[in-house]
């Protein structure tokens, strides 16, 4: 089933419909019902694969890797060897470099239809690719596990050398519909009592900062736009996940709600952190159906290892040994309330 061309595959269980491309494992559309049963596509993106391939998307819908988020100055040392990565987000390396996992064609290893449709993508990242050490075999499986729930299982196994692995799903959500305007009226709750504050180059300082009494506090449901003007361009911060109840080994990370449609997204994960990003740099991108996406048109809930963890000994390690396995699961539960 090796498809060498970028294309789009559909998962449809009769209630929700998700389109995913083998180019970057990218969710190009995801349609779920509102309180009246009306379907709307709630992710930013393009109608065809071409704009993704041409680089028009600021990471819309894709899986980013080998290492998500920023690595300070694009440098790290592992087992005594110093590695230099492409500086694609000066002065740092971002989301795996110039041609990360989001810009690769993945192989379709399995594609199942039916009540619990699923698709499994495979990619083999070679030793030295984008500056990273070691061959790595990666799989990503999207499954519609119930009428309005999608599960993503990401796995990666280093074949010969220890390496860094930190994958993230970079979908931009707008539960009112991708073409509805901005997400400032959405409410969000994030199960995190700390963030990892950053320096002027968006690299964590290494400390954990309590959110209590700050604009970063979403421990109770709060409107996204309420204090956004107090945090510069908007939110683009790693939240330290804690305290959420568990469901089949996953912790509750976030609850997102759009008041106009009553759509709700509950996100569960086994990752230690989550980048909450409010689409601060989206500017005049022409997307599906000619919709124009501007600042705050969508928001990202990127569960992840902490940014620059390789250079911060007190952060959870993102190093995976040969024969070890990186496993990252996300559960997206949609509902109305």
pLDDT value at residue 229? 97
Catalytic residue among 170, 237, 266, 296: 170
C-alpha to C-alpha distance for 283 and 289, rounded to whole angstroms? 17
Catalytic residue among 252, 302, 328, 333: 302
Per residue in 176-231, pLDDT (tens digit) is 999 999 999 999 999 999 999 999 999 999 999 999 999 999 999 999 999 999 99
pLDDT value at residue 4? 83
Query: How many other β-carbons are positioned within 10 Å of the β-carbon of residue 212?
Result: 10
Residue 230 is a catalytic residue: no
Going by C-alpha positions, the residue among 149, 111, 185, 145 that lies closest to residue 32 is: 149
Per residue in 9-49, pLDDT (tens digit) is 999 999 999 999 999 999 999 999 999 999 999 999 999 99
> pLDDT band at residue 164, thresholds of 50, 70 and 90?
very high
pLDDT value at residue 3? 63
Q: Is 143 helix (H, G, I), strand (E, B) or coil?
A: strand
**Taking 80 as the threshold, does the pLDDT of residue 1 lie above it?**
no
C-alpha to C-alpha distance for 303 and 329, rounded to whole angstroms? 9
pLDDT value at residue 207? 97
Measured between alpha carbons, how far is residue 55 from residues 52, 58, 125, 186 in Å? 5, 8, 20, 28
pLDDT value at residue 324? 97
Per residue in 44-72, pLDDT (tens digit) is 999 999 999 999 999 999 999 999 999 99
> pLDDT band at residue 2, thresholds of 50, 70 and 90?
low
Residue 337 is a catalytic residue: no
């Amino acid at each position: 089933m090796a498809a060498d061309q970028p294309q789009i595959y559909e998962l449809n269980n009769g209630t929700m419909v998700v389109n995913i491309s083998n180019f970057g494992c990218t969710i190009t559309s995801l349609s779920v019902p509102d309180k009246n049963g009306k379907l709307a596509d709630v992710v930013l993106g393009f109608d065809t694969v071409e704009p993704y391939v041409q680089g028009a998307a600021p990471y819309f819908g894709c899986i980013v890797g080998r290492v998500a988020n920023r690595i300070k100055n694009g440098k790290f040392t592992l087992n005594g060897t110093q590695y230099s990565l492409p500086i694609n987000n000066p002065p740092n390396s971002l989301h795996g470099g110039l041609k990360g996992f989001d810009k690769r064609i993945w192989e379709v290893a399995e594609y199942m239809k039916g009540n619990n449709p699923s698709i499994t993508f495979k990619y083999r990242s070679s030793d030295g690719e984008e500056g990273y050490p070691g061959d790595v075999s990666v799989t990503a499986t999207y499954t519609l596990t119930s009428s309005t729930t999608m599960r993503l299982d990401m796995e990666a196994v280093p074949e010969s050398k220890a390496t860094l692995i930190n994958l993230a799903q970079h979908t931009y959500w707008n539960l009112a519909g991708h073409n509805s305007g901005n997400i400032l009226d959405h409410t969000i709750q994030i199960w995190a009592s700390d963030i990892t504050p950053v320096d002027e180059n968006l690299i964590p300082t290494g400390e954990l900062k309590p959110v209590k009494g700050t604009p970063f506090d979403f421990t109770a449901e709060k409107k996204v736009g309420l204090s956004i003007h107090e945090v510069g361009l908007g939110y683009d911060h790693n939240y330290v996940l804690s305290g959420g109840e568990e469901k089949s080994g996953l912790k509750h990370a976030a609850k997102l709600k759009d008041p106009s449609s009553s759509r709700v997204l509950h996100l569960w994960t086994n990752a230690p952190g989550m980048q909450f990003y409010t689409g601060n740099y989206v500017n005049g991108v022409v997307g599906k159906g000619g919709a124009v996406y501007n600042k705050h048109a969508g928001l990202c809930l990127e569960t992840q290892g902490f940014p620059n963890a390789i250079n911060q000994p007190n952060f959870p390690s993102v190093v995976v040994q040969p024969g070890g396995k990186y496993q990252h699961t996300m559960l997206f539960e949609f509902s109305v309330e």
